[in-house]
Structure 1
Amino acid sequence: MLRKANFVLPGLWKLFPVFCFAFICIFNTEASAQAVKRISGKITDAETGEPLPYVTVFVKLPNHTTKGITSDFSGLYHLVAPLASSDTIYATYVGYLQAKKPLPKEHTATVDFQLKADNQLLKTVTITPKSYVNPAWAILENVVKHKNENNLEKLNSYEYESYTRLELSVTNISDKMKQRKVMKQILPIMDSLKKMAGDDGKPILPVFMSESVADYYYQKNPQQKTENIKRTKTSGVGIEDETLISQIIGSSFQQYNFYKNYVRLANKDFISPITDSWKTFYNYELTDEHDKINGREYYKIEFKPKRSHDLSFVGVMWITHDDYALYRIDMSVTPDANLDFLNKIRIQQEMVQPQGTTAWIPEKTRITVHVSNIAKNWSGFLGKFYLSNKNFAVNKTYPPAVFKEPLTMSDDITKQDESYWTRNRPEPLTEDDKKVYHIIDTVKNLPMVRTYADIAGMLINGYYRIGKFSYGPYLYTYSYNDVQGSVLRLGGTTNKYFSDQLILGGYVSYGFRDKRWNFNGSVDYIFSRKPWLQAGVSFTRDLGQTGYQFENFSKNNNVFRASIRNGRITRRGPFQQNDLRAYVQTDIAREWNAKLTVDRRTFDPLYNFVYFSPANSQLYTNYQVAEAIGELQWQPGRRLLQSSKINKRIMLGEGTDNPVVTFRYTHGFKAFGGDFSYNKFAANITEKVHMGIFGKGEYAVTGGYIPSSLPLPLLENHRYNFNTMRFLEFTSNRYVSLTYTQHMEGLITNSIPLLKELNVRTVADFNVLDGALNDANGGRPSTPRRPTRNLEGIPYVEAGYGLENIFNFIRVDFLHRLTHRDHVDETGALPSNFAVRVSVQFRL
């Protein structure tokens, strides 16, 4: 036994150094783990709750250095700090006040930051000697020089899969708002919102959240693009069709190309920080020449505009060293920018360079839009957009079938499958994101909230829904004019809850002065939604106005159509009519739609009217017509949104302002009760032209020709776009007109101190008409003193100027009549050659 023991002990003794080494390693590992602190957290904007990427989080070390890390695109950070570091952790980022918090004593802890904006950023002034050469200038010069190689527009084609998330919330809930009954039902939720906002953040109430996944394809020649939405998930208050949201916020609507000189945002042109004329509009500072991100060095450049009221940005960008490409950008619209209601717009973007190209394509984009309180006791709104792209492919050749439709949706687009989202989200939902979904589901099911949503829908759409019937438009409920007196009207239409194809509508009204009942009834049927095919028939007995008799090419809203039923309509040529009409309209191609209308109506004038027809030598004091109207319209860049729950054709312009061209032919039949046989030809082109710092121009060119001999009410009675022209003053059977408006934004007013502070903008108008009237047209004048209605070879010209954005809504134009200034009316009175037009408009 003793010999055996002696044999074992020497063996164990030989293994003793191994045990010691292992023990030391384990001890050192444990000691190392205990020698550091692991701090994680999320950094957000204190006001909007948006995640803040690229924020530097650091602690101070005893040797007067720092240990830091940068937050990722989602605002998350993970800092490993030595135990010997200070007891404070800091967060700092350009445009925000530095924040600090106590460093927890635990070795693993969570510290979230809510950073407050530094509103003094734009007010700082840097004075440099004339001989100073800004090191950022050479970098910007190279950025512009290498635009063609880095711009994604050089690609023949590209594709990617896109994930999009949208969140809408109510912000700045006022004390008065909290006292309302609807808010008292929501206040118990506010406690959880405060916890989500953090110690320094403001709680916001989420009311809508949407996610979608889509495949996006683009081809340069011929230029085409398409999007296939594969899945969408939506939860929100007052949402009729969740698929519409995914179509509106798809990736094609959130593409921002900063290599262009101007970035289109909120339908306005903002100056890109890497515009070709960068030195004219921006100041730059190179803050880090060797900023390392994932092992690669970048130039880090801060920028701010030279004029804070311009439509421009303030922020920071990262430029690659080798090819001077834009890699990252984080910027906001300047707080003083000449915009209405938008308190904040922020864009953050990261680019990626796919294999096989030198071009860079957006990989991640986040957009935050904050709509400030429109009125003192109103709440604001906050929109957060997040876009993540992957699976890039470039310069592929696609068969034409890929671009047959601008947008398609999969059959299971709204399928409820949480595992799908777990697999396809670029990053999992945080606990706060899950709470958002829960809060929205809770809020939208409150009875009072649903009532408020219905009221909001009425204000937007003009109808108030009760079950299967929607009453309205409410703007027509009461009107007053000098023919009918006070007019009460009640009407409405069926909605999707009645049928998603059959639409019944109508109204009845009564004038208390003329003691006459008027009414309308209509039946419409949607045969197909893709392509859109709709037909309908209607009968109307109501008052008409010669000055507004024929449909103008411009699309009028309910406010305008309701307004012309008021006032002194005797000067507009009132008449009573019975109108039986039928139509069919369809989309015949991707950008073409057609409409055919047949119409039989009477004309019983309420003013002195006599027409002697040279065709049959007959005298008319009233008449009736039967006609067919064919209309063909080309709308490049537009697309039809697909909805099975909304009974109307919804067109979207994809953020473009391409021209809209319309052709119209009308034939009158001397049959089916018609008194005249005639032809009418007309065409119109309208377009909005973006001009960068010079603002935006809007023009419409209209031409028409009526070769037939007709009474004046069936000819073109010019008035619609000429503010200094009297009703029924000029008539033509062949004509061409141009109306032009130039919105100059803040080009002039941003340099005038008082106007600059009021955020008003200048606007200019120019309208011209050239037309002629054959002697055979119009018949005998109703009175010998009636002056000629013929322009007689002299174009009618008016020009004006004005201010818009007065108190955010009001526009005032001062218009001058430049020709036909001595054209008297039937009483011998001269025209007023100056007019002031006050209008209400909504422009950001």
Structure 2
Amino acid sequence: MQAKAKGFLFILGKLFPLLCFVLTFCPCARAQSVKTYTGKITDAETGEPLPYVTIYVKLPNNTTKGTTTDFSGVYRLVTPLATGDSIYATYVGYILTKKPLPAGRTGTVDFQMKTNTELLKTVTITPKKYINPAWAILDGVVQHKDENNLDKLKSYEYQSYNRLGLSLTNISDKMKQRKVMKQILPLMDSLQKIAGDDGTPNLPVFVSETVTDFYHQHNPDLKTEKIQRTRTSGIGIEDETLVSQIVGSAFQQYNFYKNYVRLAGKDFISPITDSWKMFYNYELVDSQDKIHGVELYRIEFKPKRSHDLAFVGTMWITQDTYALYRLDVSVTPDANLDFLDKIKIQQEMVQPAGSTAWLPEKTRIIVNISNIAKSWSGFIGNFYVANKNFKINQTYPRELFKEPMTMNDSISVKNEDYWVQNRPEPLTATDKRVYQIIDTVKSLPIVKSYTDILGMLINGYYRVGKFGFGPYLYTFSYNDVQGPVLRAGGQTNKYFSDRWILGGYVSYGFTDQRWNYNGSVEYITSRKPWSQVGVSYTHDLNQTGYQFENFNNVNNVFRASARNGRVMRRGPFIQSDLKFYGQTDIWPNWRLRLTGDHRTFEPLYPFNYHSPINGKEYTTYQVAELQTELQWTPGKRVLQSAKINKRIALGNGEDNPVVTFRYTRGFKIFDGDFEYHRFAANIRQKVHMGIWGKGEYMFTGVYLPSILPNPLLENHRFNFNTMRFLEYSSDRYLAFNYQQHMEGLLTNSIPLLKTLNLRTVADLNVLWGSLREENNAGFRGASSGFPNRPSRSLNGIPYVELGYGLENIFKFFRVDLLYRVTHRNHPDEFGDQPRSMAVRFGVQFRL
């Protein structure tokens, strides 16, 4: 018996270290001595996952046990048995949140955290001699930018998974009473479950997933994107492949190593800009943070001026190379932006093998659009990007970048296995529920009706079957020639044909008692490259002062407003116009357009032209001309759609110009009365200038070596607001038009203007022009009704107009005061001097 006891003790002694190991490291062995909690942390308002949130419990010895959430907002916390009765969630920019712990030793605790709006109102006072420890780290970041910045690579490529979700939020009580919403409200119970106990239920209306291959080469700078597969579900979506092109990976690239980050068309100051000390305050909150074995500095920052276009948030900097490792930033709540309650960017970087540069591995962008009207709802956009399979410094054939975007033939093939394999993480039960809710909502008949109405507001046409009535802006107008004018018209849509487009209108003026009308036929010969031909005939009122558009991007709002008011002073005439055209994209970013035109001129004001060439007198005339136009738009992407019958272009690269050349030849054939040449060129560009705002300039040059009646010359009015209609004309000229949008550069320092979010604008318009004596003399004798009409020539003196203004008045309105600097002494035929100042009112939508 004693021997057996000794044997048992011997075996126990040999096994004791193994038992200790099992008891220490085996989860099942420890299960009785610890508690395990899991959960997901989301924003209470937007529902987006919150990464990097600290989750902790309090221990009896006045210490804490904690962990942090991953990029998807998920955490797992293992604690001793002896803990407090609450679990806490804390993160910069959010209110500290606590919840009771579950009774068992395991449990799930989800948090919905609310934004801390008081964050930026705190003031920190430090001694003058204080040296901020974060400053040395920021100096290191700037010094190492070149080696850490992905733009310094020869090239890079990766595969990208993109997910976009759009939801209605803050649905007003008034909106809930509408018939359409009453049919949707039963879904709100499940939406509340998605949002969580403390969250705000949001109604999903669109979701998409896209997989693309992205390539970027420097020197020369070339990009291309190959869309492999897309999946879309949304309300009112006509073409899911079109959505995939708009929200590709290139759309969501943000490089914080640049001094400014382009967001919503504006330049935001990067927290690691070269001039960081001028714009931001920093606090080093952890000098020994460690993530995935990487030693990091954790720094919180906020802008010195809350109204600046800047960020507030947290960044993690590697200790060895001063590289940006993680970033969690939000646009400040007081930033000078309209309608955007929140913009948030979260990013995790990765360093590919063989490279010193860091590339974005995961990015999440949240955009919260506020209720534009009290009775409406807001919008939330949630973008998620995950990149993998990085390759750097490869050499690519030039043909790879021939087109900025291509689509795989199987882009729309429905195959759930493909998505299971290519998603970075599987869909949650909530994600699947979102798809179900969207499918349910978009199938409701009343929702389809509201979608049609919304489409009318955006496109200008109200669709009824295969035909769209509109544009609605032209339905009624009033002017001093025609009086009240009613107009009805429209055009066919994709349901009629994906190639043929038929359109037209008819209108009636109740004062002049004239019928006017138009008919057109267009045919899309090819969608890649986009090619189109068409023919139209119009009989309607036109205006000499607005006859030539001088390369302006004139929208329907302006065109409709130009048909109202005092058109008699603009040189009105009745015109019958037969036109045919053909256009095609001859190369990427190059478009060629040929237009043949035969039109009449029947003036409604006193007109008589004595031609010095043939001695004939003209009270009316006809022209027959052929125009060739070549336009270069570097960086612009022409989107491909098999379901939308118009050429859709997106963006214009990084501040690239648009260059247009035109040559017009007039012929004495088909009853044309004049033979002439017209050469014209235009360049326009928007230039982003960081804190200085955005500049918009346009150069236009025209040369007419021919002798013509005044309505066929250049009658300047489009961009010179202090100039009277038909005051000056040119047969050769150079015009420069410039606007400087200064955003909040000046107004953010003035308390009242800062509160109103007003922004300043500066204008400069200069015209150098001349008019041959033959053309000027022909004008002088053109009207027997005004024999003392003054010269229309600028006589070698530039016309200069200066202005300044305020925009963003009540978010939509803009007012400019423009001053006539030169040609202030130029009386009209009645002897009246021109006004030295003009006030220009405008309606615009700018974030």
Task: Using structure 1 for the length normalisation, give the TM-score.
Answer: 0.97
Q: What amino acid is aligned across from residue 766 of structure 1 in structure 2?
A: L
User: What pairs up with 1:402-481 in 2 under 5 angstroms?
Assistant: 402-481=400-479
User: What pairs up with 1:623-634 in 2 under 5 angstroms?
Assistant: 623-634=621-632
User: Aligned to 2:775, what secondary structure does the other structure show?
Assistant: coil
Candidates 294, 314, 317, aligned match of 1:316: 314
What's the counterpart of residue 545 of structure 1? Answer: 543
Candidates 276, 284, 287, aligned match of 2:285: 287
Provide Cα deviations, 1:162-218, integer angstroms capped at 9, x if missing partner. 000000000000111100000000100001111111111111110000000000001
Distance of aligned partners of 1:465 and 1:19 in 2 relative to their CA distance in 1, 3 Å threshold: farther
> In 2, Cα distance between the equivalents of 1:803 and 1:508?
39
Candidates 307, 323, 336, aligned match of 1:338: 336
1:712 Cα offset (Å): 0.1
Provide Cα deviations, 1:295-354, integer angstroms capped at 9, x if missing partner. 221000000000000000000000001110001100000000000101100000011111
What's the counterpart of residue 843 of structure 2? Answer: 840
> In 1, Cα distance between the equivalents of 2:104 and 2:527?
61
What's the counterpart of residue 827 of structure 1? Answer: 830
1:31 Cα offset (Å): 5.2
> In 2, Cα distance between the equivalents of 1:27 and 1:797?
88
Distance of aligned partners of 1:34 and 1:13 in 2 relative to their CA distance in 1, 3 Å threshold: closer
1:83 Cα offset (Å): 1.2
User: Aligned to 1:245, what secondary structure does the other structure show?
Assistant: helix
Q: What amino acid is aligned across from residue 421 of structure 1 in structure 2?
A: W
User: What pairs up with 1:541-580 in 2 under 5 angstroms?
Assistant: 541-580=539-578
What's the counterpart of residue 58 of structure 1? Answer: 56
Provide Cα deviations, 1:714-742, integer angstroms capped at 9, x if missing partner. 00000110001110000000001111111
Candidates 815, 820, 830, aligned match of 1:812: 815
Provide Cα deviations, 1:392-413, integer angstroms capped at 9, x if missing partner. 0000001122111110000110
> In 1, Cα distance between the equivalents of 2:841 and 2:440?
44
User: What pairs up with 1:144-183 in 2 under 5 angstroms?
Assistant: 144-183=142-181
Candidates 247, 257, 261, aligned match of 1:249: 247
> In 1, Cα distance between the equivalents of 2:155 and 2:21?
56
1:610 Cα offset (Å): 0.6
Distance of aligned partners of 1:16 and 1:282 in 2 relative to their CA distance in 1, 3 Å threshold: closer
1:19 Cα offset (Å): 12
> In 1, Cα distance between the equivalents of 2:137 and 2:82?
40
User: Aligned to 1:210, what secondary structure does the other structure show?
Assistant: strand
1:13 Cα offset (Å): 7.5
User: What pairs up with 1:360-759 in 2 under 5 angstroms?
Assistant: 360-653=358-651, 656-759=654-757
What's the counterpart of residue 792 of structure 2? Answer: 789
Q: What amino acid is aligned across from residue 832 of structure 2 in structure 1?
A: A
Distance of aligned partners of 1:838 and 1:16 in 2 relative to their CA distance in 1, 3 Å threshold: same
> In 2, Cα distance between the equivalents of 1:767 and 1:654?
24
> In 1, Cα distance between the equivalents of 2:402 and 2:840?
46
CA contact (8 A) 2:209 2:230 kept: yes
> In 2, Cα distance between the equivalents of 1:404 and 1:693?
35
> In 2, Cα distance between the equivalents of 1:49 and 1:656?
33
1:657 Cα offset (Å): 2.5
1:375 Cα offset (Å): 1.2
Q: What amino acid is aligned across from residue 56 of structure 2 in structure 1?
A: F
> In 1, Cα distance between the equivalents of 2:502 and 2:806?
43
User: What pairs up with 1:129-208 in 2 under 5 angstroms?
Assistant: 129-208=127-206
CA contact (8 A) 1:763 1:802 kept: yes
User: Aligned to 1:74, what secondary structure does the other structure show?
Assistant: coil
> In 1, Cα distance between the equivalents of 2:285 and 2:34?
30
Provide Cα deviations, 1:1-45, integer angstroms capped at 9, x if missing partner. xxxxx9xx9999899859997999988865521211111111011
User: Aligned to 1:776, what secondary structure does the other structure show?
Assistant: helix
Provide Cα deviations, 1:64-122, integer angstroms capped at 9, x if missing partner. 21111110001011111111121211110011111111111122211100111111111
The CA RMSD measured in Å over matched residues stands at: 1.8
| Stretches of 4+ aligned residues off by more than 3 angstroms | 9-31
1:656 Cα offset (Å): 2.8
Q: Percent identity, please.
A: 70
> In 1, Cα distance between the equivalents of 2:100 and 2:647?
58
Q: What amino acid is aligned across from residue 482 of structure 1 in structure 2?
A: D
What's the counterpart of residue 87 of structure 2? Answer: 89
User: Aligned to 1:264, what secondary structure does the other structure show?
Assistant: strand
> In 1, Cα distance between the equivalents of 2:126 and 2:474?
63
- Count of residue pairs the alignment pairs up: 838
Distance of aligned partners of 1:431 and 1:19 in 2 relative to their CA distance in 1, 3 Å threshold: farther
Q: What amino acid is aligned across from residue 639 of structure 1 in structure 2?
A: R
User: Aligned to 1:378, what secondary structure does the other structure show?
Assistant: coil
> In 1, Cα distance between the equivalents of 2:298 and 2:10?
57
Q: What amino acid is aligned across from residue 545 of structure 2 in structure 1?
A: G
CA contact (8 A) 1:595 1:632 kept: yes
What's the counterpart of residue 66 of structure 2? Answer: 68
> In 2, Cα distance between the equivalents of 1:23 and 1:378?
66
Q: What amino acid is aligned across from residue 799 of structure 1 in structure 2?
A: L
Q: What amino acid is aligned across from residue 810 of structure 2 in structure 1?
A: F
User: Aligned to 1:196, what secondary structure does the other structure show?
Assistant: helix
Which sections of structure 2, spanning at least 5 residues, go unmatched?
Answer: none
User: Aligned to 1:480, what secondary structure does the other structure show?
Assistant: strand
User: Aligned to 2:272, what secondary structure does the other structure show?
Assistant: coil
> In 2, Cα distance between the equivalents of 1:814 and 1:13?
102
User: Aligned to 2:288, what secondary structure does the other structure show?
Assistant: strand
What's the counterpart of residue 303 of structure 1? Answer: 301
Distance of aligned partners of 1:51 and 1:13 in 2 relative to their CA distance in 1, 3 Å threshold: closer
User: What pairs up with 1:209-288 in 2 under 5 angstroms?
Assistant: 209-288=207-286
Distance of aligned partners of 1:696 and 1:26 in 2 relative to their CA distance in 1, 3 Å threshold: closer
> In 2, Cα distance between the equivalents of 1:826 and 1:25?
106
Which sections of structure 1, spanning at least 5 residues, go unmatched?
Answer: 1-5
Task: Using structure 2 for the length normalisation, give the TM-score.
Answer: 0.97
Between 622-631 and 776-785, the greater mean CA deviation after superposition: 776-785
Q: What amino acid is aligned across from residue 592 of structure 1 in structure 2?
A: W
> In 2, Cα distance between the equivalents of 1:164 and 1:543?
50
CA contact (8 A) 2:636 2:653 kept: no
CA contact (8 A) 1:253 1:654 kept: no
User: Aligned to 1:777, what secondary structure does the other structure show?
Assistant: helix
CA contact (8 A) 1:158 1:392 kept: yes
What's the counterpart of residue 771 of structure 1? Answer: 769
User: Aligned to 1:310, what secondary structure does the other structure show?
Assistant: coil
Distance of aligned partners of 1:24 and 1:68 in 2 relative to their CA distance in 1, 3 Å threshold: closer
Distance of aligned partners of 1:405 and 1:62 in 2 relative to their CA distance in 1, 3 Å threshold: same
> In 1, Cα distance between the equivalents of 2:522 and 2:374?
43
Q: What amino acid is aligned across from residue 843 of structure 1 in structure 2?
A: R
User: Aligned to 1:53, what secondary structure does the other structure show?
Assistant: coil
What's the counterpart of residue 3 of structure 1? Answer: none
